[in-house]
Amino acid sequence: MADKLRALAVRALPAAVTERLTRDYDARLNPDDRTMSPEEIATAAEGCFAVICVATDTFGREVIDKLPDSVKIIATFSVGYEHVDLTAAKKRGIVVTNTPDVLTDATADIAMLCLLGAARRAWEAETMLRQGRWTGWTTTQLVGVHVTGKRLGIFGMGRIGRAVAQRGRGFGMEIHYTNRSRLPAELEHGAEFHDTPEELLRHSDFLSINAPSTADTYHFLNAERIALLPDSAVVVNTARGTLVDDEALIAALKSGKLAAAGLDVFEGEPKVDPRYFDLPNAFLLPHIGSATVETRNAMGFICLDNLDAVAAGRPAPNALT
């Protein structure tokens, strides 16, 4: 039997994914799931044809230039790939792949959880209950924002944005969106398109951010754009933390310009601006958008499908370079 090709998993992977990886490859694992330095990654990758990383690993030029010549593919366990320097990888002749399509529903579910949790003051309610401060039902206690019949604005109408729209319709919401290009009518399902983000904001009682992280979307939601939202709007971000200017959002939550925010992602995570923790109208989750067994396994299996293709001399199905 021929020797197995060697593959490095920079971070710990789900059990089912690890089982397949170790079955089919000579796997180098990181069972402690600790962050590895560029030097450690380069050393661990010696003799490896593949490296599997995750969205929290920064694979910039510094890391990629240190990789041994044996590495032919970097498979990121994520849809987003802004953490990988595609230009540096292409220069080295390394294929980079991602895991699209399989986390749409899980992430859209979390967007709705953030939307409802923020609108209905779920964190405040649960905290009151757990701390033993609830003294009984009153007419004015924890009054939130109604969802049904409100306008849901979606910034970024890709797969996840459309899945959020589908869920919003289930709650009787009126869907508005903006996108790089208008969707065909059969994908709009009656949603109203706005040519500019600024026009969308004026029609968003709730704003769901679902666009990718790029230079153009960096700090998209800033003070000027927040000012365009209706008073007492609710902001939801399940895309990337870099799309939100924390300074501006925190100020709007403190002033009452915004009723609430539901956030699953943060700029600089896992470090989170500590001022969010003091805001009762901030519903916060630790980047769990894709955190279901089914979704994480599917993401891992896509990584391995890409490894299998490159190992067999075929084009990787999810190649970015």
Q: Which domains does the chain have, with CATH numbers?
A: 6-102+293-311 (3.40.50.720), 104-284 (3.40.50.720)
Per-residue pLDDT reduced to its tens digit, 243-264:
999 999 999 999 999 999 999 9
Name the amino acid, one letter, at 179. Answer: N
* Helices within 8-56 (DSSP H only): 15-24, 38-44
The mean pLDDT value for 208-230 works out to 97
How far is 118 from 115, CA to CA, in rounded Å? 5
Per-residue pLDDT reduced to its tens digit, 65-103:
999 999 999 999 999 999 999 999 999 999 999 999 999
Residue among 51, 3, 44, 43 at smallest CA distance from 24? 3
Q: How confident is the model at residue 3 (pLDDT cuts 50, 70, 90)?
A: confident
Q: Give percent above pLDDT 90 in the chain.
A: 98
* Three-state secondary structure readout of 188-215: HCCCEECCCHHHHHHCCCEEEECCCCCC
Residue among 102, 76, 80 at smallest CA distance from 89? 76
Rg (CA), the chain: 22
**166 near 109, Cβ under 8 Å?**
no
**pTM across the whole model:** 0.92
Would the pLDDT of 217 be above 60? yes
Give the residue numbers marked as catalytic. Answer: 240, 269, 287
Would the pLDDT of 164 be above 90? yes
How far is 134 from 250, CA to CA, in rounded Å? 27
Would the pLDDT of 1 be above 60? no
DSSP percent split of the chain into helix, strand, coil, nearest 5: 35, 15, 45
